Amino acid sequence: MNPAIDPNEMLEKLAAKAVEHGDSLRQTVRDLTLKALSTREATVEQLNKVVQSVTTGVSQGAAGLKVDSAKVLQDALAGMDEAVMKVVEANQIALKQLTDQGSDFEQSQFKKRLDEIKALESQFMASVQKAAESAGGPLKAAWAPVLAQMKQAGSQTGAEAQKFAETFAKNLQDQMHATRETAFKAAHTLTRNYATVVSGILMGLSEAYKEKGSKKG
């Protein structure tokens, strides 16, 4: 009997191959990361596993290259950033669905979700950092300036998360009062299954990327 395939190990191998092939690395890493995220439950734990696996795979692929790895790592990091930004977008859509359906039932849950969204950038960067440090040797050193540059400039994930959190928090109270009695039960169900809802939305966003890529081709 063949042992079960570890999805994280498979992700590492796919990321390493993407680096070895070299073509459109940013887009390839973005699509690879987004697909992995969309097939798992939308939790911080799974986000960390996906980002760390992709980072490890990128490091493995870059280790075998005879060219300067800086551009490779920059493109890979940008691709992951774009994918994680889509997690922010999926959360935006899910939270909007909740408020549109009239869920004022646990305002603490909305605050929790907003806090999680705002923390996505730091979670993302910490996961890359952890995997980069595990690479050791020249690759660990090569990752350092790439990560420092993104931390200084800010990621797309962080910018999108901050923008949404500020806007949503400002409008939330008015929306919830206006829809106080509307579709309470439906909203309650959506609240309980929030991570599943976000995963479904993320899968749709991933498919939209595929269709866009096919049309370009």
User: Contact at 8 Å (CB) between 146 and 77?
Assistant: yes
pLDDT value of residue 71: 93
At 39, the amino acid letter reads T
Per-residue pLDDT band for 180 (boundaries 50, 70, 90) equals very low
pLDDT tens, 146-170?
999 999 988 989 998 888 887 776 6
Contact assessment for residue 80 and residue 128, using Cβ atoms and an 8 Å cutoff: yes
Max CA separation in the chain (angstroms): 63
The pTM for the full model equals: 0.83
In whole angstroms, what is the distance from residue 85 CA to residue 98 CA? 20
- Report d(CA 93, CA 1) in Å as an integer: 43
Separation of alpha carbons 138 and 128, rounded Å = 16
> Between 101 and 44, whose confidence is greater?
44
Highest mean pLDDT among 11-20, 61-70, 162-171: 11-20
Structural tokens at position 37 = 């995220």
pLDDT at 130: 95
Residue 201: which residues within 8 A CB-CB, separation 6 or more?
90, 93, 94
Look at residue 187 and tell me whether its pLDDT is greater than 60.
no
pLDDT, mean over the chain: 82
Percent of the chain residues topping a pLDDT of 70: 79
Determine the number of helices (DSSP H) and then strands (DSSP E) in the chain.
Answer: 10, 0
Instruction: Taking residues 26-36, report their average pLDDT.
Output: 95
